Chains A and B, each alone.
Chain A
Amino acid sequence: MAKILILGATSAIAEQLARLYAQADNEMLLVARNSKALDEVCRDLEVRGTGKVSSRSHDFNAIEKAQEFIKQCYEILGSIDIVLFAFGTLPDQTRSNQDTTLMHKEILLNYNAIVVLLNELGMKFEKQQSGTIAVLGSVAGDRGRQSNYIYGSAKGGLSIFMQGLRNRLARHDVQVLTIKPGFVDTPMTKSFKKGPLWVGPDKIAQDIKRAIDKRKDVLYTPWYWWWIMLVIRSIPERIFKKLKL
């Protein structure tokens, strides 16, 4: 039996992971902005057999409400064993290059909104001396590329924040998992042309569940992204800066 908090529960990967955890003795709280879309996800999980599913809609842009929000989550669930961060956007790099207000908004949601919640949760998990904090990052956070560096920098920053948090919570038996998916075929990436490296959100969710069970620190999913990013990271900057990536 586990108490699970999912933030951004209408994201395709989060929904698939929630299905994997849908068993009679697990209790879930699902949070997303769009309450109608969230309702569909909850009904499905209830049918699939989750013991208790609660949901609430929340706008993660409201950074100032972070402390209050986490408090409310604890009021609903009592305690939290696993928390998954899955909300976020994929900013349009070209538009953001021309529009600083837009760029700032994207950074606020994809970095600030997450780390304030992580900070609140960090204090709780440090006290309870157990549990899992899992955050959806991206392979895009491993190196800045002209086509996607606003998203990439937020995910990269997040990855460093997670390293620090992991370092801090390791001696309290808290798992801090950074998930770095490659190309995933989801509504967020629907405008992309798909190739052989693309996989479905169900495959990613299976990898995440396994990584949580094995208490891993960093997950590249599917596995071959570890090798791809190893190559990408090792290209010298004076060559990398000239590449069209």
Chain B
Amino acid sequence: MKTSFYTSWGNRGAVPHFATIPANMTQAHVIFEYDSSIVYGQGRSYGDVCLNTNGGLIDSRYLDRLLEYHEGARLITCQSGVVLKNLITFLETKKMFIPVSPGTANVTVGGMVANDVHGKNHHRVGSFGNHIQSLTLLKGDGSIEECSENINNELFRATIGGLGLTGMILTVTLKLKSVENNCIAIKSFKTKNIEHILALFDETDDEYEYTVAWLDMYSSPQKGIFNCGNHANGDIDCAAPVKSKTVPVNAPNWLLNGVSSKLFNKLYYSKASLFEREVTSYQSFFYPLDGVEFWNRLYGRRGFYQYQFVVPYGSFLTVYMDILKFIKKFNQPSYLAVLKKFGDIKSIGMLSFPRAGYTLAMDFPDKGRATLKMFEAFDKLVMDAGGAVYPAKDARMNRNVFLQSFPAVTEFIKHKDERFCSDFWRRVNIDG
């Protein structure tokens, strides 16, 4: 059997897999030819939760069918390989939207479940897992389990945020929300420093469903842009631009460097007034980076890391200031940084990342050992504050950081399927 190469969004090299691409759910039943497998959707997780080097990989690209839609009950059932942007396009025609949207629409529904993704409205509605009516799971022994709040509850909670390790998610039934149109009424603020941003989160919580802040990590104190939005009212249309640009190949490593990313951040800040339109499309509000397909290739062959953590509200400012010190010490500024406030709605997954606190995501080019050293310093700060590091974005956290971030892993391992594994799982070495 030939091997195929797959990579993740961090783009730090493709690795060989024995890949199966089932054309339908019947074919998915006979795919377990390898000791271990992992399902690969769109490869949008940043590290290795979607990879299984030299092992089995189930590519879900053809399992992209919508199976049932109930307008009255606001429910849709679809296969796990459905890509979010296609789902949204369909829902637009029904004046519906998904309850929680991550920062890119190029993810699969199965991937959103397995990583229990969150959006800019966590303070209102919790994470994606809070809106799943039920799902079906193909286990390694060939059996199919239906899971929901009431049926197989433990397996349900293990699968949501379960990093694809409890079996293959075949179908998902998702609760929808109705909207009047496809527009977001948006308001933007330029912010002077981090305290300003934190104050805006508190002030806008009640008035706005969606809030997010972008930070220029080159400036000191960090300037930023605070965006908040609500679904707009009335009979209006904000159809997204159809054409997007693509980065066809890896850029040279030098393209994104300290100078160009500094310039980008500066420009983004100074041009921000352009985004202060009254209403805007889903794409420009939720998925601004989707306008450039494969933007990860701009980092070149070396690839990049994202470090995303959450810490309780009270400790955030201290942790943040200490992180800035380490960034300065290691002289590796973040090229892109985004801050969100999680609310206190409890995630239902055993390994779910979202929890009350502030979550900061920072992109860094892979500069080898020095970058990893810096992350270890971050880890210590986050762990001391009782926080967590996000597996979907991670490519390097060690066993202890994982255990401390997700204490319910002891409960989770009872539901992990022995025929499923990933590079991530081997790395954090919970079985061993």
User: Is B62 at the interface (CB under 8 A from chain A)?
Assistant: yes
What 1/0 flags go to A199-237 for Cβ under 8 Å of B? 000000000000000000000000000000000000000
List, in ascending order, chain A residues with CB within 8 A of B23's CB. Answer: 10, 12, 37, 187
**A: number of interface residues (CB 8 Å):** 15
Asked if A47 contacts B69 (CB within 8 A), the reply is yes
- Among B21, B62, B67, the residue within 8 A (CB) of A43 is B67
- State how many angstroms separate the Cβ of B59 from the closest Cβ of chain A: 9
User: Is A40 at the interface (CB under 8 A from chain B)?
Assistant: yes
Asked if A40 contacts B25 (CB within 8 A), the reply is yes
Asked if A12 contacts B65 (CB within 8 A), the reply is no
User: Is B313 at the interface (CB under 8 A from chain A)?
Assistant: no
List, in ascending order, chain A residues with CB within 8 A of B62's CB. Answer: 12, 187
Asked if B93 contacts A47 (CB within 8 A), the reply is no
With CB as the reference atom, state the residue of chain A lying closest to B82: A44
Asked if A47 contacts B66 (CB within 8 A), the reply is yes
Within the assembled complex, what's the spacing in Å between the Cα atoms of A191 and B3? 10
Within the assembled complex, what's the spacing in Å between the Cα atoms of A43 and B24? 12
Asked if A48 contacts B90 (CB within 8 A), the reply is yes
- State how many angstroms separate the Cβ of A196 from the closest Cβ of chain B: 8
Asked if B24 contacts A48 (CB within 8 A), the reply is no
With CB as the reference atom, state the residue of chain B lying closest to A185: B61
Asked if B25 contacts A48 (CB within 8 A), the reply is no
Within the assembled complex, what's the spacing in Å between the Cα atoms of A190 and B59? 11
- State how many angstroms separate the Cβ of B1 from the closest Cβ of chain A: 9
Asked if B24 contacts A36 (CB within 8 A), the reply is yes
What 1/0 flags go to B67-107 for Cβ under 8 Å of A? 11100000010010000000000100100000000000000
- State how many angstroms separate the Cβ of B48 from the closest Cβ of chain A: 22
Asked if A36 contacts B26 (CB within 8 A), the reply is yes
Within the assembled complex, what's the spacing in Å between the Cα atoms of A187 and B28? 13
* Nearest 10 interchain pairs by C-beta: A44-B65, A47-B66, A187-B23, A37-B24, A47-B69, A36-B26, A43-B67, A40-B24, A44-B66, A190-B21
User: Is B271 at the interface (CB under 8 A from chain A)?
Assistant: no
Asked if B68 contacts A187 (CB within 8 A), the reply is no
Give the B-binding residues of A (Cβ under 8 A): 10, 12, 34, 36-37, 40-41, 43-44, 47-49, 187, 190-191
With CB as the reference atom, state the residue of chain A lying closest to B63: A40
User: Is B2 at the interface (CB under 8 A from chain A)?
Assistant: yes
Within the assembled complex, what's the spacing in Å between the Cα atoms of A41 and B25? 11
- State how many angstroms separate the Cβ of A169 from the closest Cβ of chain B: 34
Asked if B65 contacts A37 (CB within 8 A), the reply is no
List, in ascending order, chain A residues with CB within 8 A of B79's CB. Answer: 40
List, in ascending order, chain A residues with CB within 8 A of B69's CB. Answer: 47
A34-B26, A43-B65, A47-B67 given; 6 more Cβ-contact pairs under 8 Å:
A10-B24, A40-B65, A40-B67, A43-B68, A44-B67, A187-B21
Asked if B21 contacts A48 (CB within 8 A), the reply is no
Within the assembled complex, what's the spacing in Å between the Cα atoms of A48 and B91? 10
- State how many angstroms separate the Cβ of B79 from the closest Cβ of chain A: 8
List, in ascending order, chain B residues with CB within 8 A of A190's CB. Answer: 21
List, in ascending order, chain B residues with CB within 8 A of A43's CB. Answer: 65-68
With CB as the reference atom, state the residue of chain B lying closest to A36: B26
Known A12-B23, A37-B23, A187-B23; judge A49-B93 contact (CB<8 A): yes
- State how many angstroms separate the Cβ of A31 from the closest Cβ of chain B: 16
Known A12-B62, A187-B62, A191-B2; judge A47-B68 contact (CB<8 A): yes
> Could you name 18 residue pairs across A and B whose Cβ atoms are closer than 8 Å?
A34-B24, A36-B26, A37-B24, A37-B26, A37-B27, A40-B25, A40-B65, A40-B67, A41-B65, A43-B65, A44-B65, A44-B67, A47-B66, A47-B76, A48-B90, A187-B21, A187-B23, A187-B62
